[in-house]
């Protein structure tokens, strides 16, 4: 049979992710080839905010599936919109990488060590709001571009520090980068952070079967809870919403945080559930429960005001 075609963006991190899935498929004796593509998010360096459509990094490779240019799309799950296209299906979530964010600076400062009124670069409202919640003196400035571009801007002195996902740092082999992991009580991750999502056409049995063998049920349950919560809050990937699902044995726990854009208001809620045979249904049940508790505390108003 012909190799399965994997649609991927051309950034180094996206290529690493696609090559990783290609290798996992190869270990199962399933041949695959990469089909590199350029997304809107790779070429448009304007801030990603409420004036722009979500999915700027994912729509091009999803369209490649729909147009039969490719058979598999590999996503960073934190970038994948929660709206479901019935023509596509998430076939697998492989084992998750580290979920924390890192504070990157030439001096390797901790958050407490950052100078007063330091400029921190991030394109994420979630990260910016959580930073301001801890350090209201900080100047949060937008930053765009791939990891290498952001590091170049940091070295050029445009920022005192930047925030990067630790998963991306590790995947790119930047182990010597001066950085400090941000504790989860300070910086809860984005829904889906550190996880990859493998998407295929709903009617493509060969691609689905090949990819589903790579699924890691605990990771899938955790990110499904996070993404269902995000959808229930109508947050989209641009709102200051953070969530973390974790599986311990048969118990799934979910922590979630919603903040005002300036970090002055913060709502937290957590819950847990015993996973049933249909673990995705259990994850959805928990997510809806946690989202409802946050809404009761005023989460919807904070989300709307942050747009």
- CA-CA-CA-CA dihedral for 193, 198, 200, 204, to nearest 10: -150
| Class of residue 15 by CB neighbours under 10 A (exposed 0-12, middle 13-18, buried 19+) | middle
Dihedral-angle region of residue 163 (phi above 0 means left; psi in -120 to 50 means alpha; beta otherwise): beta
Distance from chain centroid for Cα 1 = 33
3-class secondary-structure state, position 206: helix
CB-CB contact of 69 with 35 (8 Å): yes
E strand or H helix at 9:
strand 4-9
Tokens of 196: 């990859």
E strand or H helix at 41:
helix 40-43
Distance from chain centroid for Cα 267 = 20
Distance CA 256, CA 190 (A): 10
Distance CA 307, CA 304 (A): 6
Task: List the catalytic residue out of 71, 79, 101, 204.
Answer: 79
Closest by Cα among 112, 114, 99 to 167? 99
Residue corresponding to tokens 């691609």: 207
3-class secondary-structure state, position 102: strand
DSSP assigned state of 49: S
Instruction: Determine whether 67 is an active site residue.
Output: no
CB-CB neighbours of 193 under 10 Å: 27
β pairing state of 119-121 and 139-141: parallel
3-class secondary-structure state, position 224: helix
- Which residues participate in catalysis according to the annotation? 79
């Amino acid at each position: 049979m012909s190799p399965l075609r994997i649609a991927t963006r051309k950034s180094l991190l996206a290529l690493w992710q696609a090559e990783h899935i290609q290798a996992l498929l190869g270990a199962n004796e399933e041949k695959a080839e990469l089909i590199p593509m350029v997304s809107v998010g790779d070429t448009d360096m304007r801030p990603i905010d409420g004036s722009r459509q979500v999915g700027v990094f994912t729509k091009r490779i999803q369209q490649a599936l729909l147009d039969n240019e490719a058979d598999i799309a590999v996503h960073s799950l934190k970038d994948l919109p929660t709206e479901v296209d019935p023509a596509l299906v998430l076939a697998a979530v492989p084992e998750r990488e580290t979920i924390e964010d890192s504070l990157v600076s030439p001096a390797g400062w901790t958050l407490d060590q950052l100078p007063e009124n330091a400029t921190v670069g991030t394109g994420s409202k979630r990260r910016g709001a959580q930073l301001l919640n801890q350090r209201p003196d900080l100047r949060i400035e937008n930053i765009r571009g791939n990891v290498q571009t952001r590091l170049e801007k940091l070295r050029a002195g445009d920022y005192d520090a930047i925030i990067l996902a630790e998963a991306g740092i590790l995947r790119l082999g930047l182990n010597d980068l001066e950085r400090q992991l941000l504790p989860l009580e300070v910086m809860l991750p984005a829904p889906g952070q550190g996880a990859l999502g493998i998407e295929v056409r709903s009617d493509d049995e060969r691609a689905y079967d090949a990819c589903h063998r790579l699924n890691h049920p605990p990771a899938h349950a955790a990110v499904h809870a996070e993404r269902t919560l995000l959808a229930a809050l109508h947050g989209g990937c641009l709102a200051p919403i953070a969530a973390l699902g974790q599986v311990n044995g048969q118990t799934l726990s979910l922590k979630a945080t919603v903040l005002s854009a300036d970090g002055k208001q913060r709502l937290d809620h957590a819950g847990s559930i015993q996973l049933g045979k249909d673990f995705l249904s259990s994850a959805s049940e928990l997510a809806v429960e946690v989202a409802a508790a946050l809404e009761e505390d005023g989460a919807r108003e904070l989300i709307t005001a942050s747009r």
